[in-house]
Structure 1
Amino acid sequence: MKIIYITQHFPPEIGAAQGRAYDMSSNLSKLGHDLHVLTTFPNSQPTKKVFKKEKVNNLSVYRSFRIRDTKTSTVRRLANYLSFMISSCLSGLFVKKVDIVYATSPQLFQGVTGYFLSRIHRAKFVFEIRDLWVDFAELLGQFKNKKLLNLARKLENFLYNKADHIIVVTHGYKKRLIDLGIKEDKITVIPNGVNPSSLNQLVTNHTNSVKQQYAIEDKFLVLYAGNIGAAQGLDTIISAAEQLKHDPSIVFMFIGGGVEKQTLMERARTLQLSNVIFIDSKKKEELASYYDAADIGIVSLKKHPLFEITIPSKVFDYMSMSIPVLIGVDGEAREIVEKHHAGFYFEPENPTDFIRSLKHAQNNPNVLKEIELNVKQELLQSFNRETQAKELSEAFTHLTNRNDKELQKKTTSF
């Protein structure tokens, strides 16, 4: 069937959203579907182009205009979202005879594009919820205007109700939608995961070069790689690093960017923490050597019930690279780590408990070695994106078959 896949985040951009979009669309294509990806130009690359169509493997990719997000202004970010919503609505008109319009969020306005194009093409509208965008925006103080918040909630509920089917990434998200009045049989859970083929492409055995580069050959390397934002609660890790600054055996490394990075760097400088290293964002292939050098990887979110139904993609990133996980997220994410013997839990936003868990891991090298040997296979058995693409394809087929049966009934009754 012909599928429009709407995602503002797509390679060569770096991040979890981009990875999921590329892997899922590629795997759907391998299953025989005709994929047309509506995306935009990389935010890191200034461009005056309004539209570009290209082939990425077997995917037809349509890049359309957006106002660049500077990541320093809420107004600018909103303009970025809305400009892509409008331009993707236009680029979606170039695709003909569509069966499924699949829109992924965040951000929420991609759902508007999905709904609009599904009406134009008389196709089924499937809405993927990877983030409770409005709830998180309110929690993190990104929506301070109550009128705007209420409008966002109304739009969210409108899209939930208009979608022919909804894909969510956690069982907690599914329960939350059911509590909002969405029928259970309208929701399918397809969590994040990893593409088996991508594991074989990553370069390894660079441990010594990375540790030599930073003169930390004899250190226990604690890695955080990802968004350094308001939700991650990484100030806890800086507090722990301060308490451990006289322990010569441990060093912390942060790789990535985000709204909180500058604040964390300034605090580390003020505290004169020589055991903390900050590095700019890296491409996936560049990250492989840092992953290989790490002794353990941090997954952290603030302490709040909403985050207990969230599974950060970093859990799967670390597991896919055979890195033991130090997880400061309760709920579903913690259950995955503990069920698959992938690492150690610490209470979110509790530096003392973080240190307890970290030292326990450091003092049990045999356990760490066992995790490194087995965790990748555990991941592939339960969170394989090739298998997940088949589940998504089945959901699409069920949806279109149901539509055919409904049309047949109407024709017969007429």
Structure 2
Amino acid sequence: MKILFINHFAGIPQKSDASLRHFNIARLQQRDNHQCSIITSSKSYQSKQKINTPQIFFDEIEYFFIDEFDSNKKNLFIKLLRMFSFSINLFWYFKKNYEKHNPDIVYASSPDLMTCLVAYYFSKKKHAKFVFEIRDIWPKSQVDLHNFSEKNPIIIFLKKIEIFLHNKSDKVVSNLPNYHNYLKKSAFSVNNYIHLPQFLDIKYYNKNYTECNISKEHQKIFHSFDHVCIFAGTIGSYYGINFMIDSIQSFNSSSDKKLALILIGDGDYRTKAENYLKKNNINDVFIIGTKNKSYLFNLIKKCSFSILSFPEKEIYQYGIASLKMFDYLYSGIPILMIGPFDKYSILKKSKNQFKSKFGILNEMLNEYHKLCNLDKAKRNEIKEDYKNILEKYCSAKTIKKELKEIFK
């Protein structure tokens, strides 16, 4: 069987590996003698690297790259422009290379609904089954999280695509734990729905993300403070970065143990955060640009705890499958949940929960004190707890049944 994955934002091994979901699914299917390939953007959304070749193999999975509108800016308008340009270029790519791909199954993934629509029509041309995957509920996420009006013409347009794809797909898949509730509320059919959890190929992680040296500049952070915590991923105002920075100042002004915060990644709030730190002479918060995953894991493992932060929003009732959450679980260090992670994510399975409401300073400070006072035995217990969660709910071996159902 030939399976073609189409994801505008697919992760690329060694290049942009923040999310390798479809690469890992493809590898698992390849082991079952299916022939898999992936179409994605030549320009990574997470990194600034561009792939300058039309196709390349990674671990026997063939990637095909499509150009798109390019900009160093990172905001919602630019993301929409990139989606539009990528979907148009994908359409013309299929026109010019119609005979190159002859899939039995086309597997297209959100959030880029326009690209999924192009993928659907290509699947029909090829008489292939169409699988529609939702990892981010567009356009609802833009209404709930970014205050777009439901009457906005772009939102109306995207909503029509969403309805069309749900109704026309042979199978609907999501990594969101409670997505079936969204289907019911939206009056979509649940008969062709399959929940395919976010997962880690732990063997792949162990093999490819090995120990590496941390720079002297970054080592100095750990030598200068009693404890270091980390927030990895998008440095965006949405995630309450300002609350984190202010909470570190409050903690250090009242505690005999000194705590540093590392913000690692990029995003629309990074420049503002850097200016704020400089203006206020803050020397216990450090901003580090995007790093490869081996470096990231080595940095995380040296920290006392990690931070997840989402505001309370209606959309999260349908589930949270944050990528950084799984990186933290794999790293085995305690996780502070700021927001609804304990209710709507895999972390509700944890026996060791550290949680605070979003933006509530006193609750954040209380958790900081708890996390900074954990002894070695408790830390080992938490590490084992996280390992068990990954192996029981989020490993490659736990999704075999779902994969078999999707690709039968």
Shorter-normalised TM range: 0.7 to 0.9
Aligned to 1:45: 49
Distance 1:119 1:334, change over 3 A: closer
Q: How does 1:168-179 map to 2 (within 5 A)?
A: 168-179=174-185
The alignment status of 1:199 with 2:205, answered yes or no, reads: yes
Report the alpha carbon displacement of residue 103 of structure 1 after superposing the two structures with TM: 0.3
CA gap 1:142/1:334 in 2 versus in 1, 3 angstroms: closer
Contact 2:75 2:268 in 1 (8 A): no
1:15/1:135 Cα in 2 relative to 1: closer, same or farther (>3 Å)?
farther
Shift of 1:343: 4.0
Match 1:381 to one of 370, 392, 397 = 392
**How much has 1:196 moved relative to structure 2?**
1.5
Residues 136-165 of structure 1, C-alpha deviation per residue, up to 9 Å, x if partnerless? 212333746712221121121111111111
Contact 1:67 1:80 in 2 (8 A): yes
Stretch deviating more after TM superposition (213-222 or 1-10): 213-222
Question: Deviation per CA, 1:106-149, whole angstroms, max 9, x where unpaired?
Answer: 12222112211111111111011001121221233374671222
CA distance in 2, matches of 1:151, 1:277: 41
Counterpart in the other structure of 2:30: 29
Letter in 2 for 1:292: K
Q: Which amino acid aligns with 1:307?
A: Y
Q: How does 1:229-308 map to 2 (within 5 A)?
A: 229-246=236-253, 247=255, 248-308=257-317
How far, CA to CA, are the matches of 2:271 and 2:217 in structure 1?
Answer: 23
What is the percent sequence identity of the aligned residues? Answer: 22
Q: Distance in 1 between matches of 2:166 and 2:308?
A: 30
1: CA distance, partners of 2:264 / 2:75: 23
Instruction: Give the paired residue count.
Output: 394
Tell me which residue corresponds to 2:3: 3
> Distance between the aligned counterparts of 1:220 and 1:227, measured in 2?
22
Equivalent residue of 1:188, what SS?
Answer: strand
* Contact kept in structure 1, 2:233 and 2:324, CA below 8 Å: yes
Q: Partner of 1:125 in structure 2?
A: 130
Question: Unaligned regions of 5+ residues in structure 2, if any?
Answer: none
Deviation at 1:273, TM superposition (A): 2.1
Could you state the TM-score of these two structures normalised by the residue count of structure 2? 0.88
Who is 1:105 aligned against?
110
Are 2:368 and 1:358 aligned?
yes
Distance 1:296 1:84 in 2: 38
Q: Aligned partner of 1:330: which letter?
A: P
- 3-state SS of 1:194 partner: coil
C-alpha deviation, 1:67, in angstroms: 1.4
Distance 1:76 1:237, change over 3 A: closer
Deviations 1:202-250 (A, max 9, x none): 2248689676333535421111111112442222212212212324521
Taking the TM superposition and a 5 Å limit, the aligned residue runs for 1:48-67 are 52-67=54-69
What value does the CA root-mean-square deviation take over the aligned residues? 2.5
For residues 341 and 254 of structure 1, the distance between their equivalents in structure 2, rounded to whole angstroms, comes to 27
Bigger shift: residues 340-349 or 183-192? 340-349
Tell me which residue corresponds to 1:135.
140
CA distance in 1, matches of 2:190, 2:229: 41
Shift of 1:386: 4.3
- 8 Å contact 1:224–1:253 — kept in the other structure? yes
User: Using a 3 Å threshold, how does the CA distance of structure 1 residues 274 and 185 change in structure 2: closer, same or farther?
Assistant: same
2:120 maps to: 115
Shift of 1:375: 2.0
User: Cα 1:298–1:52, aligned 2, differ >3 Å: closer, same or farther?
Assistant: same
Which of 179, 189, 196 is residue 190 of structure 1 equivalent to?
196
Distance 1:74 1:364, change over 3 A: closer
Q: 1:339 to 1:140 in 2, by over 3 A?
A: closer
Quote how far apart the aligned CAs of 1:186 are.
1.6
Which has the larger displacement, 273-282 or 222-231?
222-231
Inter-partner Cα distance in structure 2 for 1:234 and 1:15: 24
Residue 96 of structure 1 deviates from its aligned partner by: 4.0
Which of 198, 215, 221 is the matching residue for 1:214? Answer: 221
Cα–Cα, structure 1 residues 95 and 58, in superposed 2: closer, same or farther, change >3 Å? same
Question: Residue 349 of structure 1: CA displacement?
Answer: 2.3
